[in-house]
Structure 1
Amino acid sequence: MNDRAQQLLADLPQWPRYGDEERVGLVRALEQGQWWRMGGSEVDSFEREFGERHGSPYTLAVTNGTHALELALQVLGVGHGTEVIVPAFTFISSSQAAQRLGAVAVPVDVDPDTYCLDPEAAARAVTARTAAIMPVHMAGHFADMDALGKLSADTGVPLIQDAAHAHGAEWDGRKVGELGSVAAFSFQNGKLMTAGEGGAVTFPDEATYQEAFLRHSCGRSRTDKKYFHETSGSNFRLNEFSAAVLRAQLGRLDEQIALREQRAPLLAGLLAEIPGVVPQGRDERVTANPHYMQMFRLPGYSEERRNALVEALVARGVPAFVAFRAIYRSDGFWENAAPDETVDEVAARCPHTEAINADCVWLHHRTLLGTEEQMHVVAEVVADVVART
């Protein structure tokens, strides 16, 4: 790799991105004199602005994405004696949020092209105890919401969208909040919008939102002055400083999505030309993909070989990572409310997840904020490392 290529990789945009908008917002939150949501205005403003951008009539900001999932599941009636269908390939918060409520997390296989929940596998997993089906919009790519919506309607089991990667995404021209189901977002440090931590839940109806508000504030209403806690709950309230930062982050989201939508097809096309490399596919019904990750597979690779390839990419300056581990291959999955199966039994019905677990790589979304020339350099380095590994 020549000096210019090395410099181009070193000059890839960093993450998080911030500017005067965040500074102004933090000072604004500081000087208002109230630093929690019940006294300040930043959280309320962020909820309104985020909801408008995502087509949701009701939005609740919370402490983090995992709590967003847990709260959303709770208001849908998930608890002891119930089951939640989750993708076997996802970050483990998807399953742990259900398990912390006492519900059994049931992993099902994913589509080998999009890496999203397979609707047919989900249908086979529905039982009389199923309380929710949780599609994950992997790397910003929507799960098949048409098929999953039909499954929900046919079975009466509600959907909860894990939209941690899907800020600004659209399915067939509709935003996450316009699809008629609860959705949970994350603002953790690596996400497309971030305040270091944070989360949000969007709701299609006021009653579910009001219950969630109570439960995220220790069961206490906005106006309570006498400590009447109407429900059980916890403190999942977002603070004013995080909300101020997120308002600024939201302000540049569309510009960043537009740039990633330009760069992602270019980089994916370049990667597809490399022998043995298969980029994540795209369903034509996805009309906006924010591209949380640029993902690709190396079919036939062992986990060890894939890991060595990622280490080599990082050493060359490419922001590469191994993909999520199959949730059933982490010890934490089996600690509480696990299915009555062995690891091998779950793996046997999740062959696509098993393969992705071993052979998938992702590049940080900041890569896609680079120039066209940088996309070519990234692809050249991937090609060279693949040839050598």
Structure 2
Amino acid sequence: MNARPAPRFPEWPQYDDERTGLIRALEQGQWWRMGGQEVESFEREFAEFHGSPHALAVTNGTHALELALQCLGVGPGTEVVVPAFTFISSSQAAQRIGAVAVPVDVDPDTYNIDVAAVAAAITPRTRAIMPVHMAGLVADMDALGKLSADTGVPILQDAAHAQGARWQGKRVGELGSVAAFSFQNGKLMTAGEGGAVLFPESDLYEAAFLRHSCGRPRTDRRYMHQVAGTNMRLNEFSASVLRAQLRRLPAQTALRDKRWALLSRLLGAVDGVVPQGSDVRADQNTHYMAMFRVPGISEEDRNALVDRLVDAGLPAFAAFRAIYRTDAFWETGAPDESVEQIAERCPHTEAISSDCVWLHHRVLLADEPDLELTAEIVADAVAAV
């Protein structure tokens, strides 16, 4: 590769008004959600931002999925259909509560769950369909909604990447199904850790509140725990940070969308590089990751490519490994199939897991000359493989 200066990217996480919120939380005298105001204020603001009647803040995104699945009736003896190409939390959330995670293939262009594959995987034991809005690109919620209506199997949107995303003008909370979010350190808005669940119905929200607070009603003073639960309560300090992060999100989303239009065009002009595709119905893509494929490359060469990009100053990463090609997937709640049997019905996941690279979303907050330099670095690195 030719020597050239490294691009300049903003740091992540970003912060400013967070200091004010942290002091406010500190000085209110109550650092617990049951006595403070920050968590409840964040829940109202997050729900309103996404067009949902109810939001429940929790400890992290994985817990958000687990809690949502429990409220949808998922547990031992049931199945959850998940994309084979996703972060492992999507499947582990189901497996940790005793269900079987059934991986299905994804679309080779958008990397989102293949609806036909979902339909083929549904059995009488299926209790939830979990599309992941990969990198902030909303999955085909029209087709998934029809499938859900036809089968009676509810949808749980894994929206960990999709704070502020829209589908045909509708926000995530307006799509009629439960949605779970993550606020882990790398996410589009973050408090280091944290999560939230949007509920379209009051009864689901109330059931989730009980389970996330050890099964104890809000006003209980005699330890009358009503259901089996655990402690997933978010603390006041994290909520104060998230309130500031939420206020900053719309401007950042608009900038990332604008920058991706440029970067995807530049990457698409590089011989051998194919950027993640789009769907015109997903009219607000949040671009959690700037993803691209190098079709035909081996996993070993892809990993070497990532190393070259990192050495050149890009925050680059190998794409998620197919969940069924991890030891963790097989520890509990795996389907009665072999790795190769699942791989045979997930050819697109096999390819994407081997040939895909992603860049951290802070790249899309950089200036245009730095994106032009980014594309040049990718071109040189790919040519060197």
TM-score over 0.5 (shorter chain): yes
1:173 aligns with 2:169: yes
Question: Which residue in 1 is equivalent to 2:216?
Answer: 220
1:164 aligns with 2:163: no
Offset at 1:302?
0.6
Backbone CA RMSD of aligned residues: 0.9
Provide the secondary structure at the position in 2 that maps to 1:252: helix
Instruction: Report the Cα distance in structure 2 between the residues aligned to 1:179 and 1:84, rounded to whole angstroms.
Output: 20
1:245 aligns with 2:241: yes
Given the alignment, which residue of 289, 302, 309 partners 2:298?
302
How do 1:62-211 residues align onto structure 2 when only pairs under 5 Å count?
Answer: 62-211=58-207
Instruction: Report the Cα distance in structure 1 between the residues aligned to 2:340 and 2:185, rounded to whole angstroms.
Output: 34
How do 1:26-45 residues align onto structure 2 when only pairs under 5 Å count?
Answer: 26-45=22-41
Offset at 1:2?
8.0
Instruction: Report the Cα distance in structure 1 between the residues aligned to 2:123 and 2:261, rounded to whole angstroms.
Output: 40
For residues 18-57 of structure 1, the C-alpha deviation after alignment (integer angstroms, 9 at most, x for no partner) is 11x1000000000001101001000000000000001110
Provide the secondary structure at the position in 2 that maps to 1:59: strand
For residues 301-337 of structure 1, the C-alpha deviation after alignment (integer angstroms, 9 at most, x for no partner) is 1100000000000000011000000000000000001
Q: Which runs of 5 or more residues in structure 2 are unaligned?
A: none
1:57 aligns with 2:49: no
Question: Which residue in 1 is equivalent to 2:10?
Answer: 13
Offset at 1:109?
0.1
1:347 aligns with 2:343: yes
Q: Which amino acid aligns with 2:33?
A: R
Given the alignment, which residue of 323, 331, 334 partners 1:335?
331
Q: Which amino acid aligns with 2:121?
A: A
Q: Which runs of 5 or more residues in structure 1 are unaligned?
A: none
Provide the secondary structure at the position in 2 that maps to 1:287: coil
Provide the secondary structure at the position in 2 that maps to 1:151: helix
Instruction: Report the Cα distance in structure 2 between the residues aligned to 1:340 and 1:98, rounded to whole angstroms.
Output: 16
Offset at 1:12?
0.8
Instruction: Report the Cα distance in structure 1 between the residues aligned to 2:168 and 2:139, rounded to whole angstroms.
Output: 12
Instruction: Report the Cα distance in structure 2 between the residues aligned to 1:200 and 1:338, rounded to whole angstroms.
Output: 26
Instruction: Report the Cα distance in structure 2 between the residues aligned to 1:367 and 1:60, rounded to whole angstroms.
Output: 31
| Cα pair distance change 1:2/1:26, threshold 3 Å | farther
Instruction: Report the Cα distance in structure 1 between the residues aligned to 2:51 and 2:304, rounded to whole angstroms.
Output: 42
In the comparison of the two structures, how many residue pairs are matched? 385
Question: Which residue in 2 is equivalent to 1:291?
Answer: 287
Instruction: Report the Cα distance in structure 2 between the residues aligned to 1:181 and 1:70, rounded to whole angstroms.
Output: 15
Instruction: Report the Cα distance in structure 2 between the residues aligned to 1:324 and 1:36, rounded to whole angstroms.
Output: 36
Q: Which amino acid aligns with 1:18?
A: Y
Instruction: Report the Cα distance in structure 1 between the residues aligned to 2:354 and 2:382, rounded to whole angstroms.
Output: 15
**TM-score of the pair, normalised by structure 1:** 0.98
Question: Which residue in 2 is equivalent to 1:357?
Answer: 353
Q: Which amino acid aligns with 2:264?
A: A
Q: Which amino acid aligns with 1:15?
A: W
For residues 158-193 of structure 1, the C-alpha deviation after alignment (integer angstroms, 9 at most, x for no partner) is 000000000000000000000000000000000000
Provide the secondary structure at the position in 1 that maps to 2:378: helix
1:373 aligns with 2:374: no
**TM-score of the pair, normalised by structure 2:** 0.99
Structure 1 runs of 4+ with >4 Å offset: none
Provide the secondary structure at the position in 2 that maps to 1:255: helix
